[in-house]
Amino acid sequence: MRIATWNVNSITARLPRLLAWLESSGTDVLCVQETKCAAEQFPVEELRALGYESAVNATGRWNGVALVSRVGFEDVVTGLPGGPEYDGAQEPRAISATCGPLRLWSVYVPNGREVDHPHYAYKLRWLEALKEAVAGDAAGERPFAVLGDYNIAPADEDVWDRSVFEGGTHVTEPERAALAALRATGLSDVVPRPLKYDHPYTYWDYRQLAFPKNKGIRIDLVYGNEPFAGAVKDSYVDREERKGKGASDHAPVVVDLDL
């Protein structure tokens, strides 16, 4: 079984590439982030034509997550149970479902913006709520994983130049401690370093030739419990999909399982 996570940075802008990639990659379940559309604008019919069902949590121009599956859905939960609000609303940043033998979450962790910004404190509260919400499944016997754009580089090796991020978000100790607490529920990073590249980054800014120069960061992660991690046979970052006209600034992260 092949699953993947991909921050598409607008599913409307990326739809032709997304459909082509699903056909060529043979992905069974895709966790999508940053759909940047309302739920009724999600391309349900185009995906159904390829044999995929969609479960969507999206409300408008910003954020938005989805699960796209050709093995069906059961027990879909839209949103983060117990999650905090920002500006008076719970943002569409999480969705979970059972897809065949797996229980999966697609998450888009808040960016945090700046360390002294209210969004940073919100990010830490959101991660605490995520930890509480997944703890039961993480410790369970069913294969379970939380996939998505975490907006945190787990270690200094996951950024092209640590000094560039000094004083900013994505690399701070509280953020990394929140990731460690999430892993402590029974999850592990199932996409190890190194992979096919010395630095398997997943995001490269559009500006200043960041991708050709490989000035990237690894923030798109797959955290699985023990039954999930034990079934992993291969994992990789599909850098090819970051190339060319109309690419997202993130690359898909793919995991193959033998269940």
Q: Is the pLDDT of residue 31 over 60?
A: yes
pLDDT, one tens digit per residue, over 182-234 is 999 999 999 976 555 566 899 999 999 999 999 999 999 999 999 999 999 99
Is the alpha carbon torsion for 200, 79, 74, 11 positive or negative? negative
Using alpha carbons, list the distances in angstroms from residue 128 to 110, 115, 123.
12, 17, 9
**pLDDT reading at 169 higher than 90:** yes
Q: Write out the DSSP string of 30-41.
A: EEEE---SBGGG
Q: What is the pTM of this model?
A: 0.96
Binding residues, as ranges, are 7, 34, 149, 151, 249-250
Q: What is the pLDDT of residue 147?
A: 98
* Strand 203-204 versus strand 102-108 pairing type: unpaired
Q: What is the arithmetic mean of pLDDT over 17-42?
A: 97
Task: Provide the token pair at 43.
Answer: 């391309």
pLDDT in tens, 126-156: 999 999 999 999 999 999 999 999 999 999 9
Q: Phi first, then psi: give them for residue 127, nearest 5 degrees.
A: -65, -35
Say which CATH number the domain at 244 has.
Answer: 3.60.10.10
Alpha helices in 194-245 (DSSP H): 226-231
Q: What is the reported pLDDT for 94?
A: 98
pLDDT score for 196: 53
pLDDT at 135: 98
Q: What are phi and psi of 245, to 5 degrees?
A: -70, 135
pLDDT digits (tens, 9 = 90+) for 74-93: 999 999 999 999 999 999 99
* Domain boundaries, position 98: 2-257
Residue 231 neighbours by CB under 8 Å, 6+ apart: 143, 257, 258, 259
The first and second tokens of residue 70, run together, are 């050709």
Q: What percent of the chain has a predicted confidence (pLDDT) above 70?
A: 97
User: How many distinct structural domains can be found in the chain?
Assistant: 1
DSSP tag of 84? P
Q: Residues with catalytic annotation?
A: 108, 149, 250
Binding-site residues for Mg(2+), in ranges, read: 7, 34, 149, 151, 249-250
